[in-house]
Structure 1
Amino acid sequence: MTNYPLTWPAGWPRKTDAQRADARFGRKDRRTVNYTNGGSTSWTTTKALTVSDGVKRVLDELARLGARPGYTVISTNVVVRLDGLPRSGQREPTAPGAAVYWQDRARAPRVMAIDRYRAVADNLAAIAATLEALRAIERHGGAQILDRAFTGFTALPPPAAARSWREVIGVPAGERDMAAVRAAYRRRAQTDHPDRGGTHDAMAELTAAMRQAEHELE
C-alpha cells in the first residue's frame, strides 16, 4: 500500500460524491485574555480540523491500542511530507477518503478506511473516533470481542482476482527485483487511480497485486 495516492482496501465499499456529508468534527480552541486589574476572560471556539489534526488523532489512538511502531501507513490523496504523513494546507482531493494500515500487538495486519465525509481531515477524525470506540471495548475487558470486531477490518482480496499479480502490475514472469516491481506499480497507478481516470475496482486490484508481490518477493 502507499501513503500517496490513496490505497483503498480491496473489497471495501466506497461512497459516491452524492453520498458524502459534511462532518461535525472540530478542534476546540480556548482563548484567555488577562487584564491589568488581575481579572481574566476565557472563551472557547470550534475550528475546522486540519489534516495534521486528523493524523495526530489517528496516531494517538493507534498508540493507545498498542499498534507496532513503524508499521503504520496513513493513506490518502493528500501529498505527503518528508516523513510520509499527509501535509495540511492543500486543496481537498476529489476522492477525500482515508485508509489506515497497521499491525497490532500480535503482528496481525489491520486496516480501517472511511470516505463518508467531504474532507480528508474529517475522514481521518472518523477513523480515530472509531478506534477510540473499539479501544473502549478492550478497556472494559472485551478483548475477545475486540478481536472478533477487527476480523472485519482487514484488507480483503478483490472478488474476482483471477489474474496473477505480475499480469496486473505489468512485469515479466521472471522479474524478482522489488524496485522494478514498485516502479511498474507506480506507472500503472498513474492510469488505474480514480483521480487519474481509472476506477476504484482497478486500483483495488492493483493494490492487492502489489501486496501479493511483496509477500512473494520480500
Structure 2
Amino acid sequence: MTVPAYPLQWPDGLPRTERKATSQFKTGLSTALKNVKGALEAFARDSGRAVTDIVLSSNVGGLALETPKDTGVAAWFTWDGEQRCIAVDRYPKPEDNLQAIYHILEARRTEIRHGGLHIVRQTFKGFTALPAPEPWHDVLGVSHEATNDQINAAFNALAKKAHPDMPGGSADWMARLNAARARGLK
C-alpha cells in the first residue's frame, strides 16, 4: 500500500495524544530528518533486514511558515516482510515528534545489540502497521482544503447511495464515509 507523505496519514486505531508534552529536544527539522534516515539505515544494517518503502507522513508541506495544527509524524516503512508504522504526536512541533521517532529506532537498535533479532521482532509486533486510512478527501470526492459545508454536502450526497438500506449500499461503504467525514471535519 502506498502511503502519501502529505497530508499526515495516521494509522487507523492508534489513539491520538490529547495533551501535548513539553519537549527537551533542540533539533531542527532538517537534522531530525537526517537522524531518522540514518537510524533507519543503521537499523537495517544491524538487523540484517532491508528497510524499504520509507514514507515520513506529516502535515508539513509546501512553503508554509507556521507550524501545522496537527504536528504528528508517522514513519511508514517495510521491514522483515511487513509494513510498519511508528507514529508520534506527543510534542507541539513536528521536528520534535520526528526526533522522538529517531530515539525509538535507536532503542530498537539497542535491543538488537543486547537481546537479538527475536526481541526486536517481538517489540515490533506493536508497530505492525494497520492500514493507512484512505485520504478523506478522495473518499468524499472533495479537495483536501474543502470547507466543513462542502465536506458535509459531499457526505450527504454519497450517504444516500452508500447507506446499507439502499440498493448497492453497504455497511462497509457507509463506515468509510463516516470515517472520512470525521477526519475531514477534524
Q: Same fold (TM over 0.5)?
A: yes
How many angstroms does 1:140 deviate by? 1.5
| Alpha carbons of structure 1 residues 70 and 204: separation in structure 2 relative to 1, 3 Å | farther
**Partner residue of 2:34 out of 56, 59, 68:** 56
What one-letter code is carried by the residue in structure 1 that aligns with 2:88?
I
**Partner residue of 2:124 out of 131, 136, 150:** 150
For the residue of structure 1 that corresponds to 2:30, the secondary structure is helix
What one-letter code is carried by the residue in structure 2 that aligns with 1:121?
E
Q: Percent identity?
A: 32
For the residue of structure 2 that corresponds to 1:151, the secondary structure is helix
How many angstroms does 1:202 deviate by? 2.6
* Corresponding residue for residue 89 of structure 2: 115
User: Contact between 2:85 and 2:129, CA under 8 Å: does it hold in 1?
Assistant: yes
How many angstroms does 1:107 deviate by? 2.7
| Alpha carbons of structure 1 residues 132 and 71: separation in structure 2 relative to 1, 3 Å | same
Q: Is 1:102 the equivalent of 2:77?
A: yes
Q: Which has the higher helix share?
A: 2
Question: In structure 2, what is the Cα distance between the partners aligned to 1:204 and 1:100?
Answer: 24
Question: 1:47-106 deviations in whole A, cap 9, x for unaligned?
Answer: xx22111111111111111174651000000005xxxxxx7x8311000000000111x3
Question: In structure 2, what is the Cα distance between the partners aligned to 1:128 and 1:12?
Answer: 19
Structure-to-structure mapping, 1:33-72, within 5 angstroms? 49-66=27-44, 68=50, 71-72=53-54
What one-letter code is carried by the residue in structure 2 that aligns with 1:52?
S
Question: What TM-score, normalized to structure 1?
Answer: 0.58
- Larger radius of gyration between Structure 1 and Structure 2: 1
Question: 1:23-50 deviations in whole A, cap 9, x for unaligned?
Answer: 1012xxxxxxxxxxxxxxxxxxxxxx22
**Partner residue of 2:144 out of 190, 211, 215:** 190
| Alpha carbons of structure 1 residues 64 and 188: separation in structure 2 relative to 1, 3 Å | farther
Question: 1:114-166 deviations in whole A, cap 9, x for unaligned?
Answer: 000000000000010011011100012421111011010022359xxxxxx9x
User: Contact between 1:22 and 1:118, CA under 8 Å: does it hold in 2?
Assistant: yes
Structure-to-structure mapping, 1:66-215, within 5 angstroms? 66=44, 68=50, 71-79=53-61, 90-104=65-79, 106-156=80-130, 184=138, 187-188=141-142, 190=144, 202=179
| Alpha carbons of structure 1 residues 116 and 71: separation in structure 2 relative to 1, 3 Å | same
Question: What TM-score, normalized to structure 2?
Answer: 0.67
Question: In structure 2, what is the Cα distance between the partners aligned to 1:7 and 1:191?
Answer: 16
Listed as ranges, the gaps of 5+ residues in structure 1 are 27-48, 81-86, 159-164, 171-182, 207-218
User: Contact between 1:10 and 1:204, CA under 8 Å: does it hold in 2?
Assistant: no
| Alpha carbons of structure 1 residues 64 and 118: separation in structure 2 relative to 1, 3 Å | same
**Partner residue of 1:8 out of 7, 10, 26:** 10
Question: In structure 2, what is the Cα distance between the partners aligned to 1:197 and 1:50?
Answer: 35
Aligned length: 151
| Alpha carbons of structure 1 residues 77 and 169: separation in structure 2 relative to 1, 3 Å | closer
What one-letter code is carried by the residue in structure 2 that aligns with 1:202?
A
How many angstroms does 1:187 deviate by? 4.3
* Superposition RMSD in Å: 3.6
